[in-house]
Homo-oligomer: A and B are copies of this chain.
Amino acid sequence: MTRLLDVAKAAGVSRSTASNVFNNPEMVRPKLRQRVEKAARELGYNGPDPKGRLLRDGKFNAIAVMPPSQWGVVDSLRNPVFDLFLLGVGEVCDEIGANLVLVPDKAGNHGIKTALVDGFILGRVEHLAEVEAAQLRRLPFAVVDFDPGPNISSVRTDVRAGCHTVAKHLIELGHRRFGIVSFLRSPGPARLHPAGQSRDLHAAGNPSDQEKLQGYTDALAEAGLDIDDVPMIQADPWDLDAARMLLDEAPEATAILSMSVMQGIAVIEEARRRGRSVPGDLSVVGYNDIPDAERSDPPLTTVDGMVAQKGRVAAQIVFGGGPPRHEILQPQLIMRASTGPAPRSLEVD
């Protein structure tokens, strides 16, 4: 393969001049420039190889987004919430003209150790250990939805407050009998938690889901309700059968708290299948505001978890440099048509 040096030799000039022909053409006299360009053409040389340039100035002009551990590229692209996050990162990339690299990291941090990027965003992290590999790269990075301590930048949403708000919204509408769709820690068959069974935070999936449950717990407690008395199901996010199981277990519930839009919509659909009107007989809420939430029938009341904003801020932190930052975004209640006053006949007070 011909390189800059070959061209320079062929044109009878130095490497530097040849380099200038490609990078600062106005610096080279037209005559000489043409000689170099001719030589390049004849040798089939098409401008400096990015590899060499990279080595020299060390800028990749790219940012890595690492999906949650165990996820591949496909898992990331299929997940609508992660898509939203990527969108936020992408906005910043477009602004500064950087590329966005999806770097899955299935085996032994290989991805993080070798990715050709200027910085990282670590999608949902669950343990400090997962952050260590990133520190070793000594590149700027930010973690999402996790508190890694004061020395590492992070962007989080106050998930607990978000869930507190939406649960309170239902309580204010008069609801007292609830059901909860939460997540499993790891893939598996759905698990039912009947009313009256004491349960700990682990009855929700990842740390972030556990915060959601805590938000629900607090709001209920403020209304004098004990979370242990609320029927709950733990299922995989894509296990849309969970809705059926929960409604079987909690036929008297007037409001269902779910932890995602897809589960929320699944509950709406299951309710309709049973002839129960939403929100007339049953109110349903989700979490996060992906486009589907608006399009469901009725449109789903949910919490805007600021996911895209989270991506934006994370990217700004990484590209911006500076000391570690810790941003906590406040979620917003998005009131739509899937929630309404508790039905009078079932109202308990």
Contact = CB atoms under 8 A, between A and B. Distances in A.
A46 interface: yes
A106 B93 CA distance: 12
A103 B94 CA distance: 10
Interface stretch (A73-81, A247-255, A318-326): A73-81
Contacts of A94: 72-74, 104
A58 to B, nearest CB: 7
Contacts of A74: 87, 90-91, 94
A94 B77 CA distance: 12
Nearest to A292: B295
A137 B46 contact: yes
- Interface size bracket, A side: 35 or more
A90 B113 contact: no
Interface stretch (A5-13, A48-56, A157-165, A191-199): A48-56
Contacts of A104: 93-94, 99
Interface in A40-90: 46-47, 50-55, 58, 60-62, 64, 72-74, 76-78, 83, 86-87, 90
Number of copies of chain A assembled together: 2
Nearest to A47: B113
A100 interface: yes
Nearest to A61: B114
Interface in A94-117: 94, 97, 99-104, 106, 110-111, 113-116
A274 interface: no
A114 B56 CA distance: 14
Most chain B beta-carbon neighbours within 10 Å: one of A64, A103, A110: A103
A interface, by DSSP: helix, strand, loop or mixed?
helix
A58 B51 contact: yes
A138 interface: yes
A172 interface: no
A62 B60 CA distance: 13
Nearest to A55: B55
A151 to B, nearest CB: 15
Given A46-B138, A47-B113, A111-B99, A73 B93 contact: yes
5 smallest beta-carbon distances between A and B, as pairs: A73-B90, A72-B94, A46-B136, A74-B90, A100-B102
Given A73-B90, A77-B87, A90-B72, A50 B99 contact: no
A115 B101 contact: no
A50 B101 contact: no
Contacts of A60: 116
A292 B46 CA distance: 44
